[in-house]
Amino acid sequence: MVWNNLYAPDRDARILVVALITIAVTLLVELLLAIPLIFMLGIRQSHRVIGPMNRLKRALQAIGQGDFSQRVQLRQGDALEDLARSINKMVEQLQKRAG
């Protein structure tokens, strides 16, 4: 009985260490799985913004060179859809004024 009482704190410490190691390994595995997922989501989101920006840029360059027939074509729900509509209205007005 005395031996169990002397040994118990050591056993409790081992259980605690095993639990902490288990938690640390679990967190490490979750982190290693999350990093590629976060990276892929970041690339996807950047393409959703940069793609429409590039289309706007090309259209504005053509308009700047006097091609008033140029229109900005973006997909429904693109981040810059409102801006594209405004640019298209502006170009229509410029085209009417230019005759």
Whole-angstrom Cα distance, residue 98 to residue 75? 29
Global pTM exceeds 0.85: no
Decide: 38 and 46 in contact? Cβ < 8 Å.
no
C-alpha 71/C-alpha 85 separation (Å) is 9
Three-state DSSP at 85 gives: helix
Q: In the prediction, which pLDDT does 88 show? A: 92
pLDDT beyond 60 at 84:
yes
Query: Which tens digit of pLDDT belongs to each residue from 32-65?
Result: 999 999 999 999 999 888 888 898 999 999 988 9
75 Cβ contact partners less than 8 Å away, ≥ 6 residues apart: 52
Locate the domains of the chain by residue range.
Answer: 2-98
Count of other CB atoms within 10 angstroms of residue 83: 15
Which secondary-structure segment (H or E) carries 4? Answer: helix 2-64
> What's residue 75's pLDDT?
80
Instruction: Give the residue-averaged pLDDT of 75-99.
Output: 85
